[in-house]
């Protein structure tokens, strides 16, 4: 990453001869491991306390039937699922290594013995160099934290916490069944144990204003996060919101989303890795925004617009050495 004085933007990397002004996880991992790192999505067969009745039923209102893991492999044999994906991708990226990403549902919501078995199975393939584990803030027990610390002695890993929003009214409307206090407790526990944390936020939830969304970004960035995921809200088939909000559109155009996303990125400290800045939903399940499947168009638009505006990740962060005034 290039350092910067007060007159120059931060340039994190280059791609196709173009400056990247965002600290992407892809670039960070390539520097960390010295090769391309591909994340392989898994359905580990878990459920969620918001589905099995312990806290609620039906899941979060925006969540698909697969627990936000529509593209995750889930045959029941984790080792076989990973091998199949690696075999398919090895021709395209012959020198790549892989991170096993437990994506679907709540991947710390099971007895620790079950978690250890599944996570250890994922590490059995020699090309798997790490783990990424997605979960809810209310499913981080002391026993889970101890297991994560144990695994961290053997491999590279991070833990993903799905916060989505800091606003209690939105969380209740979306049937999250966890609170900001749950997030704060989990984050403190994980950071104290030295576990890298990636926080998820959704941009465009019903009822939230631009400033509310930016407040969520500012709040989570006060902590020592490893990474952040900013996910454009997608209305998908099979979610509760397909019935309750059938006509809801989070952003009216790609340009509107890009403008909001860049404002958010300017508030994120440069050292935080960005794991997602758009949103993925299979076209077969996507309802709205109808253009959100155009991932490459959205990403190119973000990077091009940031260069045109001469802005970068962290430009508005106070006490950032490279800060310009953000007006």
Q: What's the chain's average pLDDT?
A: 91
CA neighbor of 68 nearest in space, from 202, 168, 188, 177 = 202
Q: How many Cα atoms within 13 Å fall on the side-chain side of residue 90? A: 8
CA–CA separation, 65 and 279 (whole Å): 17
Summarised one tens digit per residue, pLDDT across range 78-123 is 999 999 999 999 999 999 999 999 998 899 999 999 999 999 999 9
Q: Which residue numbers in the chain have pLDDT < 50?
A: 1-6, 67, 69, 321-325, 327
pLDDT of residue 139: 96
Alpha-carbon gap, residue 162 to 134, rounded angstroms: 7
Give, in order, the Cα–Cα distances in Å from 64 to each of 44, 72, 137: 16, 13, 19
H or E element that contains 156: strand 156-164
Spatial contact of 242 and 236, defined as CB atoms under 8 Å apart: yes
> What are the tokens at 183?
């997030």
In this structure, the chain runs to a length of: 327
Q: Which two tokens stand for residue 201?
A: 């936020």
Instruction: Name every residue whose Cβ is closer than 8 Å to that of residue 274 and which is 6 or more positions away in sequence.
Output: 22, 23, 24, 25, 227, 228, 229, 230, 265, 268, 313
Per-residue confidence (pLDDT) for residue 322, from 0 to 100:
42
Sorted by where each begins, the domain ranges of the chain are: 1-21+196-317, 35-56+63-168
Contact assessment for residue 179 and residue 128, using Cβ atoms and an 8 Å cutoff: no
pLDDT of res. 38: 96
pLDDT (0 to 100) of residue 297? 94
What pLDDT does 67 receive? 47
| Residues 280/232, Cβ–Cβ less than 8 Å | no
Global pTM reads: 0.92
Q: Do you find a cis peptide bond into 321, omega within 30 degrees of 0?
A: no
Q: How far apart are CA 63 and CA 239, in angstroms?
A: 5
Tokens 């617009």: give the residue: 305
Distance CA 138, CA 18 (A): 41
């Amino acid at each position: 990453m290039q350092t910067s004085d007060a007159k120059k933007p931060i340039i994190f990397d280059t791609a196709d001869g173009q400056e990247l002004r965002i600290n992407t996880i892809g670039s960070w991992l390539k520097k960390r491991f010295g090769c391309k790192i591909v994340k392989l999505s898994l359905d580990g067969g878990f459920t969620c306390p918001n589905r099995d009745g312990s806290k609620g039923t039906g899941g979060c209102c925006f969540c698909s039937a697969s627990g936000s893991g529509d593209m995750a492999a889930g045959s029941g044999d984790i080792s076989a699922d990973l091998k199949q994906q690696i075999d398919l991708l090895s021709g395209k990226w012959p020198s790549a290594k892989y991170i096993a990403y437990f994506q679907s549902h709540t991947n710390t919501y099971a007895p620790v013995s079950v978690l250890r078995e599944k996570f250890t199975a994922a590490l059995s393939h020699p090309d798997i160099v790490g783990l990424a584990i997605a979960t809810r803030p209310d499913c981080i027990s002391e026993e889970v934290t101890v297991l994560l610390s144990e695994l961290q002695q053997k491999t590279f890993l991070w833990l993903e916490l799905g916060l989505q929003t800091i606003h209690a009214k939105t969380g209740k409307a979306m049937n999250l069944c966890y609170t900001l206090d749950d997030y704060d407790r989990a984050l403190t526990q994980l950071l104290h144990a030295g576990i890298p944390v990636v926080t998820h936020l959704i941009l465009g939830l019903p009822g939230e204003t631009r400033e509310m969304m930016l407040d969520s970004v500012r709040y989570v960035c006060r902590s020592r996060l490893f990474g952040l995921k900013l996910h454009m809200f997608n209305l998908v088939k099979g979610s509760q919101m397909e019935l309750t909000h059938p006509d809801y559109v989070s952003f009216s155009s790609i340009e509107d989303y890009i403008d909001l996303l860049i404002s958010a990125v300017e508030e994120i400290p440069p050292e935080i890795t960005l794991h997602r800045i758009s949103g993925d939903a299979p076209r077969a399940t996507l309802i709205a925004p109808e253009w959100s499947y155009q991932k490459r168009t959205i990403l190119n638009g973000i990077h091009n617009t940031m260069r045109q505006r001469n802005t970068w990740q962290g430009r508005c962060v106070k006490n950032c050495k490279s800060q310009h005034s953000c007006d």
